[in-house]
Amino acid sequence: MDTTTAITLDSLEFTNRFARLDGPFHAQVEPQPLSEVRLLHLNAQLAGQLGLDAGAAARDPDFVAAMAGNRKIVGGAYVASVYAGHQFGTLVPQLGDGRANLIGEVLTPSGEQFELQLKGSGQTPFSRFADGRAVLRSSIREYLCSEAMHALGIPTTRALSLVGASDPVQRERFERAAVVCRVAPSFVRFGHFEYFYFRNRHEEIRQLADHVIEAHYPHLAGFPERYAAWLSEIVQRTARLMAQWQSVGFCHGVMNTDNMSVLGLTIDYGPYGFLDGFDAHHICNHSDEGGRYAYDRQPVIGQWNCSKLLQATLPLLHEDPDQSVEIANAILTRYPADYMNQMMSLWRRKLGLVSEQEEDRELINRFLNLLDKGKSDFTRTFRALSNLRDGDDKPAMRDELLDQAAFDAWLPDYRARLAQDGQPEAERQQAMRAVNPKYVLRNHLAQAAIEKAEASDASEIDRLFRVLQRPYDEQPEFDAYAAEPPPEARHISVSCSS
């Protein structure tokens, strides 16, 4: 970008709409300094979007100090918000930003508004006796994955910077502290509304809803039935997000209502994982002993979470409680169709199907069953299908499937279906490669970057970051990043401390 027009952190224009809410929505906090901080990575593209000169920022000790929470930015609000949440299905009436500090909301040169939030900058009133810190391991995972998801085209919070420090933090073992600066239009969650609902604080529910609508759903502001319309959009966005997760084999791991965004963003990257070998029942979080948030459960949990948001906003829908419940149920009943329509659209695109045909669902399910039966690599198999040639009856991808006879039976039906659309081979391949990524953030890749960083080498963070910015491109020089994980790395375990 043109450095003559670039601005510094202290000259950012802060609007701080959430922080200006008058009520018990947040508490003032002071970030707690860390020792020997250093910038491990800076997202140059996002810095430029905010109006910052990335090169100058990376060299500026004041920038690094601010991203570590060691100094305040002029104009920042510095608050932590309070919320509740259903954690693994059980209501916890008070949670909140226990290790997150909202610096404030900035207005970018292009007119966009983003909130900047430090994760790991110390204790807040909502830390619940925890230390308020984040470790290097989990911070690297969040930094890389939020940007990887953005590059995949999936709505998500983003990450501006990753700062490491020398301070020890106790988890399963002693680790080093780190701070991620997260960026999103809003960090308001379903749990924010639950907090006030279960305290019978209806006026705060309305005030918070009005803020979200005015700031992020302005097309609904002033509309007489705006609350029902707004909640309908949230349900639709959530259904769409669940389909997008499923389509790339992403498992969130902790789909509590306090980890659900009212903007339909992927938020809070903890024990997540991308499928390697396809297993519809895959559980990525070893803390999830009952499999509540397994891969195949994510869509229905998305609906369940929406039901809890609707419950928490019943006072907005009608003065008559029975009427409120009726309206809420009508909104929720649209979720399955919204999800299925989006999911089928994405599966069709991944298989290169242009039109909609009645037999598509069976064809798609047969292919997914092939993958599941042999635990075939999800990402690699779909990418290989993208490169299928019209006249190749024994494609190389056949060797990756356990039940080759079933694949041989499926392939002619698939080719016949492609012939119905009549799309030229090259055009089909290009379209399929645009939705079937070659590169995703597999656990063993993240672990390699973590181990190097723990040995004071951040080079793998940068290399992996660059690869994941172009997930749909071939990038032959990085083919190794598209390989299946080695046998010893196929069972890397992640938990809620990840």
Q: pLDDT tens-digit profile of 176-230? A: 999 999 999 999 999 999 999 999 999 999 999 999 999 999 999 989 999 999 9
99 is in an annotated binding site: yes
pLDDT at 1 (0 to 100): 44
pLDDT at 3 (0 to 100): 43
Residue 174 pLDDT greater than 90, yes or no: yes
Condensed to tens digits (0 to 9), the pLDDT of residues 110-133 reads 999 999 999 999 999 999 889 999
pLDDT-based confidence at 392, cuts 50/70/90? confident
User: How many residues are present in the chain?
Assistant: 498
Is residue 279 assigned to a domain?
no
Three-state DSSP at 255 gives: coil
Beta bridge mates, 180: 119, 162
189 is in an annotated binding site: yes
Active-site residue 258, yes or no?
A: yes
Q: Domain boundary at 422, 454, 477, which? A: 422
Is residue 321 assigned to a domain?
no
Prediction pTM value: 0.96
pLDDT at 4 (0 to 100): 43
The candidate with the shortest Cα–Cα distance to 115, out of 100, 105, 103, 102, is 105
Strands 250-251 and 134-135 come out as unpaired
Looking at per-residue confidence, does 496 or 346 come out higher?
346
Gap between the Cα atoms of 306 and 312, Å rounded: 10
pLDDT-based confidence at 2, cuts 50/70/90? very low
The candidate with the shortest Cα–Cα distance to 84, out of 239, 292, 221, 260, is 260
Three-state DSSP at 116 gives: strand
Three-state DSSP at 61 gives: helix
Domain around 19 = 9-190
pLDDT at 493 (0 to 100): 64
Angle separating helix axes 335-351 and 378-386, nearest 10 degrees: 60
387 is in an annotated binding site: no
Condensed to tens digits (0 to 9), the pLDDT of residues 437-485 reads 999 999 999 999 999 999 999 999 999 999 999 999 999 999 999 999 9
Residue 5 pLDDT greater than 90, yes or no: no
Gap between the Cα atoms of 344 and 371, Å rounded: 17
Say if residues 418 and 428 touch (Cβ distance below 8 Å): yes
Residue 7 pLDDT greater than 90, yes or no: no
Is residue 482 assigned to a domain?
no
Mean pLDDT of the chain: 95
The DSSP symbol for 39 reads: E
Residue 490 pLDDT greater than 80, yes or no: no
Average pLDDT over residues 353-358: 97
Is residue 64 assigned to a domain?
yes
Q: Domain boundary at 380, 397, 422, which? A: 422
Residue 360 pLDDT greater than 90, yes or no: yes
Condensed to tens digits (0 to 9), the pLDDT of residues 311-324 reads 999 999 999 999 99
Q: Give residue for tokens 């949440």.
A: 85
Q: Is 143 exposed, middle or buried (0-12, 13-18, 19+ CB in 10 A)?
A: buried
Gap between the Cα atoms of 198 and 454, Å rounded: 43
Cα-Cα-Cα-Cα torsion 32, 101, 148, 305, nearest 10 degrees, comes to: 140
Retrieve residue 72's tokens: 């305040």
Residue 344 pLDDT greater than 50, yes or no: yes
119 is in an annotated binding site: yes
Say if residues 15 and 76 touch (Cβ distance below 8 Å): no
452 is in an annotated binding site: no
Is residue 200 assigned to a domain?
no
Catalytic residue among 2, 53, 210, 258: 258
Angle separating helix axes 136-152 and 443-454, nearest 10 degrees: 140
Is residue 410 assigned to a domain?
yes
Gap between the Cα atoms of 234 and 337, Å rounded: 14
What single letter denotes the amino acid at residue 33? P
Strands 273-274 and 174-184 come out as unpaired
Number of domains into which the chain is organized: 2
Is residue 169 assigned to a domain?
yes
Taking CA atoms, 443 is separated from 141, 250, 460, in Å, by: 9, 11, 14
Gap between the Cα atoms of 64 and 68, Å rounded: 6
131 is in an annotated binding site: yes
Say if residues 460 and 448 touch (Cβ distance below 8 Å): yes
pLDDT at 6 (0 to 100): 64
Beta bridge mates, 80: 27
Alpha helices in 319-392 (DSSP H): 321-332, 335-351, 360-374, 378-386
Q: Domain boundary at 190, 213, 245, which? A: 190
pLDDT at 144 (0 to 100): 98
pLDDT at 102 (0 to 100): 98
96 is in an annotated binding site: yes
Three-state DSSP at 100 gives: strand
Taking CA atoms, 59 is separated from 7, 55, 63, 64, 88, in Å, by: 14, 7, 8, 8, 43
Gap between the Cα atoms of 351 and 498, Å rounded: 34
85 is in an annotated binding site: no
Residue 15 pLDDT greater than 90, yes or no: yes
Looking at the chain, the whole-number percentage of residues with pLDDT higher than 90 is 91
Is residue 473 assigned to a domain?
no
pLDDT-based confidence at 420, cuts 50/70/90? very high
pLDDT at 402 (0 to 100): 86
| Dmax (CA) of the chain | 67
